[in-house]
Structure 1
């Protein structure tokens, strides 16, 4: 086993089993913390109150503290092979952890009288060894917290008086985005892009904690990129790491933000994509860039009201994830949905949300119902008059469910990303004459399915990231529908290249994980 671990240190990519056991480090590391603290408290009690504590008890505790500290060191080393940690802090943390294990073994050897047989007067080093192991434990624990949570984790919320006493610098001001009153005059990076980065990315990529050598807290650092190069290619969003990692499945090790962190919203990804496609400018206003129909409603939603220039004006809405609110589907008069039917939908795990207090239009979302399936889809037509936004992404539905979706005559927005739908399912959607937005990211749709999309005359935006669509198919679709905004369109070959590109090469040419 040790030979295999050392092989990983030679520059080869860490095997999955190495990272698997490495992820047990945060669990194992709590064992030596508990054992050593108990041993230290028992010895302190014995010295101060002269209480008789069984020598065998302390010896046993020290033995397991040494064993668990050693296991924590091995697991910690495995975890470090995955990369993404500040090098100097990691190196100091590593040696402090090794020191804890070494002095714990020394303390155990002396306490168990094994060392007395070899070294006379070995008992005199017992208390110093135990004390050093405890001090190193505190230091290693502090740096471990810094590696995981950032260097200011313990002091982030420290009150000002304590900061003064401890000599800690004043708390950094909380980031506040500049309000946008006129989106046309908004500075694209400063008022639109930077707030997204500050709230979703800077927590792990800042001056105190720069995973992968990447900082995103300033324009200069963002342009500098990470340890393997730039994070964006101006003018080419789909070739940019910044966008690629956001589009990976959430359980992928390279997905950003990491699983468990607050994820980027679809509209935020769209804004970042648009900014990069426009050349990633840091000093331009919205009015100086090209604004297409896909991004116009997203930009409009950033303001308290007002149209967006460079095309048909779009009024703002309090929601940020829908198409233009001027659509007749959002203002037409429809009867209220049957409360019994609403309850049925909710029992199936669906969220049923009104789009406004004044109208009866509904959004139905399966965000909390990942097991939603074709059979349950039969509930949807019961609100066919009211349902205008439907989110079935990342559920168990297939083409069979689209037979029910096709009955939703007022449907304007449809999410089918990362489902089992195919070209056969798209054929059933030809009757959705009011559909304006369709997300097919991560599905098995091919060029044949695009031909059916061309027949949806009101369709304005379609997402085709990581589908089986080819460049030829996209070209044909754009020729038939030049008014249609197609976002993405990465085919299988590009996905393979994309995945490979996201893994930097070692000197030997073998990809390694970060």
Structure 2
């Protein structure tokens, strides 16, 4: 390519990058939806974005193949120019999508800056191509790394933050230190009986800021993840659970936990850990496994259901609403919290005869809002 054409092409690329930076600085996405035509154009971003990815990944392949066949290395420059053009276009359409489509948030901003940075890196690689091989090679490696990071941010936007890791095998989780997000029922055996023990006796040395042996015990996910030496809990296998071994050692043993003179677990607390591990170390364990354990204060406070579950009667409830004109609505999202009878919208219909029709669901009604 003639030097003058190459120079003007490089200048055009740099101007494009400058304009993209200005757009991100002075017109960032703010959660507001704008013109439909802008949204229409922006929605081509998920299609366009794959083009620079494919082209950019092709460049190092051509470079390596060019060691044997020199003409392939020459093709790498042309492919790199296409990749830079496609990256600039994808970044522009990405900004258009975020700015007009009502997007906002730190993840969106990171992905956008990643896209613009990637476009700039492609332009830089193209500028170095054929001029300084070492600098070009280093820039290309960094550009591929930036491509991977930016693609990861985009994947999190599209599929969620845990899409890549939610099915990751446990050995890989331990290797990369990835925790599995688990929803903990606050009334479960683990939440009521097990985690409080860790909080009182273990978390001081095994938390998110101070985790001895790379072990955290401040959440179920981290407990099951283990530490630098692997698992500390082997579900259903008490003899293979390092945690249980350590809390049952003689207090003067160097491996005894909790260490450093901190209060040790009481016999009751040790028994709770034993029962939990033996039963499978799950969040909820079979009720028969807990027999013989004294009730905790939290368990005694668990409220009994107000009524039976109303959901099996929902067709009957709907039919009664239609025939009587009276509203019967759930008291809360908990199906055992009962129903509310509302007559405010039709007080004239609330007669003794009407109320008698509600007898089939009368045991489910716990409150009334009368006119």
User: Rg bigger for which structure?
Assistant: 2
Structure possessing the higher relative contact order (Cα contacts under 8 Å, 6 or more residues apart): 2
Normalising by the residue count of structure 1, what TM-score does the alignment of the two structures yield? 0.34
